[in-house]
Structure 1
Amino acid sequence: MGSLVRVGEIFRYKADKDPGPAVVDGYRNFFHVTSAPGLRRAQLERGIDGPSDFQAVDGVRRPAILIRSSPWKAGSEQTPWHDVFDMNGGHVRYFGDHKAETRVPVGETLGNRTLLQAFAAHQAPTPDQRRKAVPLLVFRSVRRNKQDKGYVEFCGFGIVERVERVVQWARADSSTFVNYVFDLALLDLSSEDDRVDWSWVNDRRNAELTVEQTLAHAPRSWREWVDEGAAALPRLRRRVARASLQRTVDQRPRPGSPEAADLERIYHRFDGKKIEFENLAAAIAARVIRHRGAEYHEGWLTRPSQDGGTDFVGRLDVGIGPSVTKLVVLGQAKCVAPGTNISADQVARVVARLQRGWIGVYVTTGVFSTRAQMEIAEDRYPIILIHGLMLAQQVRQLCNETHAGDLDACVEDLVEQSTAEVVHRRPEEILLT
């Protein structure tokens, strides 16, 4: 494969950074693939890294920005936040490098400053300005050979689509601090067989080549983005065209993992407490729907004797200003023993309530059967499935962000402070609010 780097490929990233062997411990050597004569080695030592600016024949440019997320650190005192990877949908939500103990202003840490500068170029209005923009190459640490460190997965390349300031918890002393979070758009690589040619990055590091000349090895989507800008993103964003079926084993936390312990605590806390679990399910559904920036409004809970396959109601607003359409969201919540199958018939109860333009959400501590997923995929039902593992992950992220990692306090506050009333109303009434 030479310098070709495939999305989803795992690389060995050894501490000695020796570029010599092509394969180490059964995986291609990151430093072997990315090295080039006369160039300093590419590194992923920091979360936001990459070759520095340099003077080329046509001006100063930065070759690339390399981003690495370390999921195994998420929820720790050093890294209390959780980056979100949706590679199939072409989206990564990545938290910057400001920390509670950082003494410089929030935008002045090396990583945040680098991405903020990149964002400005990624929003440039003309092709000439966008041609000078810096591509992002995204990696995340993965566990292999019983090791948390030393292996990275290539997740794709793209640009900064949006930047937001957020307030985060510092778990060490339960204080708060301000950081940046970056929404990254991963671009399509279908014309390149889902691979990036690292020669493109090395070309961008060659001072004798103009930025126009470096486009020879650039992915088609990058060249089209340079020409067309943000208006082309809906067409250029990475999309994986397949039915997103998950094995039931992949919907359950790994035995003995922190997620498994969290899910058990959630189940035992809410088992037999239908209304309280519906409060949790409604909040997590809102969180999942909003993670790509959607405008979602929580509504109410339905009376247990009259829900007819619906436990909570919400509203999704699509559009801006006067050009907004409102969609009803119907939610079902099912607290069952972790690992319990949710059948196609159970999911069908929610589907049967959906009218034209409505959306369904099913939240459970269990798992969705293959048949249930196949029916949804084949019939293209507009329903979001949130299984036990995803529920545990979302609750853990929420409690790390708002309660310094205290899961019990987080869920108690969520239930006690919920403003959702238990009422008997028609779902379509939420369109009038």
Structure 2
Amino acid sequence: MVSAAKLRFGEVYRYAASKDPVPPAVDGFPNFHHITQTPGAPRVQLESGIDVPALCEGADGKRRPVVLIRSSPWKAGSEQTPWHDVFDLDNGHLHYFGDHKAEIDKPLGGSPGNRALLEEQPLHQALSEAGRARATPLLIFRSVTRRNRVKGHVEFCGLGVIERAERVVQRDRHGQVFVNYVFDIALLDLRQEEECIDWGWINARRDGSLTLKETHRLAPESWRRWIKEGHAALPKLRRRVAAKAVHKTRDQRPLPGSRQERDLKQIYEFFDGRKHDFEHLAAAVAARVIRGKGAEYREGWLTRPSADGGADFVGRLDIGSGTAIAKLIVLGQAKCVLPNTTISADQVARVVARLQRGWIGVFVTTGVFSESAQAEIVEDRYPIILVNGLLLAEQLRHMANESHAGDLVECMTKLVSSSPAEVMHRRPEEILLF
């Protein structure tokens, strides 16, 4: 097996309409079709969003050489694509919507991309090493804008493993509701390969004279370890990027003139003068943030106005299952303030003071957290999650795009009117009984 060209994490590749594989570079960018060519085999393509090359014969049976996934962020939030794929590359997570659409006259799961990923899911979640060994690697890309072009350039975002698939209800540009699949994909650590994927691995998977075991010699170490150890090893195999624990206030604010700035202003104005309604929104966003990594979270209730004692809503985080389960109380604080307002260390400390052993705090605000508040949390290792205005706006935008055709006001109105969290006068400990 001979090593071939390499895809590098974060590198932008020219995806030219000509698809000419000969030149190594096009317009000053590495040529995608040159890097990904396999002599004698059909080219891989990204037009469809989920590219599913045909099965090929190997020395030990049929296998699919690769599945390529592309997201188009420039379409997100548009009438054509109101939902957003979520790329959390620093934490090795992709939330990706499948390719079913309202106009597709096939059963759910019958579209080519969804069908391929659903066929892969049992292999990616196989309990045996032999089952996982037959899984197809997922290579992730997203379209990026270069030289004022929204098409023709893609960024390589890594190697993925399917963690779960679930059905979601979406709405298209005509307001028609349809059911689709959304896939949670773990992105694997590529540090041992200097953030690269050797395309020779994919060529080897297309080589009919080689067994799967032989092709694994060119696979990244994290892929080989995942095959051997399974999903239990994902926490240590997932891509992680060290980040500063304390963020400057300017980094917590949306960029001037950005969509997030407009959204955050709209959120504040919607709840200005009725701050208790904001607690419904804060509880929903807190639940979404906590569940974002696959945690089991149960929404509880809201506390009575002006009598919260440092908590506005109560929830529960469940870790484990069956008899092997731990239930953790979550206390939430909600502060709807002007977006340029800074939340002080004293305000965060009010929530921290309510936490007992084994409890977790969540502070959701339209403002930002002071550096001293963050530093105190880091130094004293307080178990509290901080959701600033920028993150709040981003999460609510995802919710609006996924379920309300991008209508932020409709989304906020629905969250308040149909919130499962009732206003109750109960001790937080009572949520452990439900």
Partner of 2:118: 116
Pairing partner for 2:83 from 81, 84, 102 = 81
Alignment of 1:121-200 (within 5 A): 121-172=123-174, 174-200=175-201
Partner of 1:302: 303
Distance in 1 of aligned mates of 2:284 and 2:79:
25
* TM-score (norm: length of structure 2): 0.90
Distance in 2 of aligned mates of 1:55 and 1:413:
52
Distance in 2 of aligned mates of 1:14 and 1:244:
40
Q: Is the 8 A contact 2:297 2:318 kept in 1?
A: yes
Q: Which deviations, in whole Å up to 9, do the C-alpha atoms of 1:182-234 show, x marking residues without a partner?
A: 12122222322333222212222233332222112111121122223334333
* TM-score (norm: length of structure 1): 0.90
Partner of 1:417: 418
Segment of structure 1 superposing worse, 90-99 or 362-371: 362-371
Pairing partner for 1:33 from 23, 32, 35 = 35
Q: CA deviation at 1:242?
A: 3.9
Segment of structure 1 superposing worse, 135-144 or 342-351: 342-351
Q: Which deviations, in whole Å up to 9, do the C-alpha atoms of 1:244-289 show, x marking residues without a partner?
A: 5545444333333333222211111112322011111111111221
What one-letter code is carried by the residue in structure 2 that aligns with 1:191?
Q
Q: What secondary structure does 2:13 align onto?
A: strand
Segment of structure 1 superposing worse, 154-163 or 412-421: 412-421
Partner of 2:210: 209
Distance in 1 of aligned mates of 2:136 and 2:231:
15
Change (3 A) 1:247 1:68: farther
What one-letter code is carried by the residue in structure 2 that aligns with 1:99?
K
Partner of 1:283: 284
Alignment of 1:38-117 (within 5 A): 38-117=40-119
Distance in 1 of aligned mates of 2:250 and 2:398:
22
Q: CA deviation at 1:49?
A: 0.7
Segment of structure 1 superposing worse, 228-237 or 404-413: 228-237
What one-letter code is carried by the residue in structure 1 that aligns with 2:123?
A
Partner of 1:389: 390
Q: CA deviation at 1:312?
A: 1.6
Change (3 A) 1:350 1:22: farther
Distance in 1 of aligned mates of 2:310 and 2:54:
57
Distance in 1 of aligned mates of 2:232 and 2:427:
38
Q: What secondary structure does 1:81 align onto?
A: coil
Residue 356 (structure 1) aligned with residue 357 (structure 2): yes
Distance in 1 of aligned mates of 2:430 and 2:19:
61
What one-letter code is carried by the residue in structure 1 that aligns with 2:45?
Q
Partner of 2:230: 229
What one-letter code is carried by the residue in structure 1 that aligns with 2:97?
F
Q: CA deviation at 1:37?
A: 4.0
Q: Is the 8 A contact 2:296 2:318 kept in 1?
A: yes
Distance in 2 of aligned mates of 1:319 and 1:108:
34
What one-letter code is carried by the residue in structure 2 that aligns with 1:65?
V
Distance in 1 of aligned mates of 2:294 and 2:322:
16
> Which residues of structure 1 form unaligned runs of 5+?
none
Q: What secondary structure does 2:91 align onto?
A: coil
What one-letter code is carried by the residue in structure 1 that aligns with 2:202?
V
Partner of 2:330: 329
Q: Is the 8 A contact 2:143 2:150 kept in 1?
A: yes
Alignment of 1:396-411 (within 5 A): 396-411=397-412
Distance in 2 of aligned mates of 1:251 and 1:25:
36
> Which residues of structure 2 form unaligned runs of 5+?
none
Q: Please identify runs of 4+ aligned residues in structure 1 that moved more than 6 A.
A: none
Partner of 2:12: 10
What one-letter code is carried by the residue in structure 1 that aligns with 2:211?
T
Q: Which deviations, in whole Å up to 9, do the C-alpha atoms of 1:62-85 show, x marking residues without a partner?
A: 111011112222233322322222
Distance in 1 of aligned mates of 2:161 and 2:393:
30
Distance in 2 of aligned mates of 1:298 and 1:131:
39
Q: CA deviation at 1:171?
A: 3.4
Change (3 A) 1:65 1:377: farther
Q: CA deviation at 1:111?
A: 0.3
Residue 267 (structure 1) aligned with residue 268 (structure 2): yes
Q: Is the 8 A contact 2:4 2:200 kept in 1?
A: no
Identity of aligned residues (%): 63
